[in-house]
């Protein structure tokens, strides 16, 4: 049995979730979003990954454009540490395409202008 606080809306329902033979049993949710959140947390937790990428004279904030599997975060951070931004970027521009092999892109979270 795991106790969770749902983060899908401002209500913040206190959930009790337990894996069973038939899936995940969830109680305490006010809406279906809470049940889906608890099921995902117990079966395949995901997070939006935020970090920075090295540029010539600064660090540029980046994030994934959708949640990635929590178990991949350390491997993805190694890829991010090895990246260097050498061109101009606007918010939302792809810095590393398909970073997780599942179609998730690492995108700029702030604009960057490379020196000429």
Q: Are residues 100 and 60 in the same domain?
A: yes
| SS3 annotation, the chain | CEEEECCCCCCCCEEEEEEECCEEEEECCCCHHHHHHHHHHHHCCEECCEEEEEECCCEEEEEECCCEEHHHHHHHHHHHHCCEECCCECCCCEEECCCCCCCCCEEECCCECCCC
Q: Are residues 59 and 84 in the same domain?
A: yes
Q: Are residues 57 and 36 in the same domain?
A: no
Q: Are residues 15 and 61 in the same domain?
A: no
Is position 77 within any domain?
yes
Average pLDDT over residues 20-39: 93
**Range of the structural domain that residue 37 is part of:** 2-43
Q: Is the pTM of this model over 0.95?
A: no
Q: Are residues 65 and 38 in the same domain?
A: no
pLDDT of residue 31: 94
């Amino acid at each position: 049995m795991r106790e969770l606080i749902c983060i899908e809306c401002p209500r913040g329902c206190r959930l009790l979730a337990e894996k069973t033979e038939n899936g995940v049993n969830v109680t305490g949710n006010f809406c279906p979003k809470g049940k889906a959140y608890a099921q995902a947390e117990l079966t395949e937790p995901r997070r939006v990954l935020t970090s920075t990428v090295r540029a010539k004279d600064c660090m540029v904030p980046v994030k994934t454009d959708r949640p990635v599997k929590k178990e991949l975060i350390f491997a993805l951070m190694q890829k991010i540490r090895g990246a260097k931004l050498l061109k101009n970027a606007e918010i939302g521009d792809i810095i590393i395409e398909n970073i997780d092999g599942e179609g998730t892109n690492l995108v700029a979270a702030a604009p960057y202008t490379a020196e000429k």
